[in-house]
Amino acid sequence: MIVRPRENWFRLLFIWNGSVLSSIIPQLIFMAVVSTLAVFTHGRVFGEKIPLNTAPFTLFGVALAIFLAFRNNASYERFNEARHLWGNLLIASRTLTSQILCYVPERADAQRIAQQLIAFIYALKHELRGSDPSQDLLRLLGRERADALSGQCYKPMSILNDMRRELAIGQHRLHASDTRLWMFDAQLAELGKSLGGCERIASTPIPFAYNVLLHRTVYAYCVLLPFGLVDSTEFFTPLLCVFISYTLIALEAIASEVADPFSLTPNALALDAMSRNIERSVLELCGCALPEPVAPVRPYQLT
């Protein structure tokens, strides 16, 4: 994810990274070629004039804009919900760590559970991205437990179950009240809810039919547009068509990126930074040395 300071209006005109422009350059070149051919052939295909004017494009453009707005709103809702879920992970992690440190007498037990909590966060990050968690699990849990988890399909849930089991065993060993155990379990349940919510977003994309319909409609509109404008705009047709195509195709590309908030695209969630932030917060409560924060990607840099 790219995190930028506020830019002035002039610099925003020329920002490249994170603008999705680099991913749609081939499509814009294609539109420039089609528009140029429409100009040189005076709107004819195989010698036949295509009877188009600006009126149908005006009406159809309004409908297309509404459809694009729906698609972008649906994508942003997924992104926003994912961000709220990771915010809840931070809140529940801090609360659970504080409770364990205050109510579990054995500091070694408390720190071990805190390490499991951090491992849960990193395991979730890797599960959502489909990456290998072995290095982080080895660093946090040790070789034996990391090897045991290597064969698990749902590693975050397995770690969460270990935490619940260890807290229950500890409470029974100390003959603590059921109220205290319930208090711990409530925070573990919050972690489980966030885990399930993230898995739901990752495993339930926007229906494919919406993507196909929007994709076909945008490209049909953009390809036909030069033949409707050429009689009125003549040699300015390529410039106008490329600009309009950039707007529509870029909106589709942005919606596709934002709809997958756990990916590695520049406009996805900064899971590396958020995972490290939770780790630092938990370790600070435990009085341990803090790792360096993950710096956000600055302007003109990519993850």
Q: What does the pLDDT read at residue 299? A: 46
Residue 269 contacts by C-beta under 8 Å, 6 or more apart in sequence? 1, 79, 82, 83, 86, 261, 262
Query: What residue spans define the domains of the chain?
Result: 9-286
pLDDT tens per residue across span 149-194: 988 899 999 999 999 998 888 777 655 677 888 889 999 999 999 9
CA–CA separation, 303 and 292 (whole Å): 17
Q: CA dihedral defined by 210, 213, 218, 221, rounded to 10 degrees?
A: -150
Is 30 a residue whose pLDDT tops 90? yes
- Using pLDDT thresholds of 50, 70 and 90, give the confidence band for residue 37: very high
CA–CA separation, 38 and 298 (whole Å): 42
Phi, psi of 200, deg, nearest 5: -65, -45
Is 277 a residue whose pLDDT tops 90? yes
Q: What does the pLDDT read at residue 106? A: 75
Computed on alpha carbons and rounded to an integer, the radius of gyration of the chain in Å comes to 26
Mean pLDDT of the chain: 87
Q: Rounded to the nearest 5 degrees, what angle is found at the Cα of 179, between the Cα atoms of 174 and 182?
A: 95
Is 122 a residue whose pLDDT tops 50? yes
- Using pLDDT thresholds of 50, 70 and 90, give the confidence band for residue 44: confident
Does the CA dihedral 125-130-136-140 come out positive or negative? positive
Is 101 a residue whose pLDDT tops 70? yes
Is 303 a residue whose pLDDT tops 60? no
- Using pLDDT thresholds of 50, 70 and 90, give the confidence band for residue 211: confident
Judge contact between 3 and 268, C-beta under 8 A.
Answer: no
- Using pLDDT thresholds of 50, 70 and 90, give the confidence band for residue 298: low
- Tell me the HSE value of 20 on the side-chain side, using a 13 A CA sphere: 19
Q: CA dihedral defined by 261, 265, 267, 273, rounded to 10 degrees?
A: 80
Element (H, E) at 107: helix 107-129
pLDDT tens per residue across span 4-18: 556 666 677 777 776
Distances (CA, A) of 71 to 130, 208, 211, 216, 255: 25, 12, 9, 14, 7
Looking at the chain, the whole-number percentage of residues with pLDDT higher than 90 is: 55
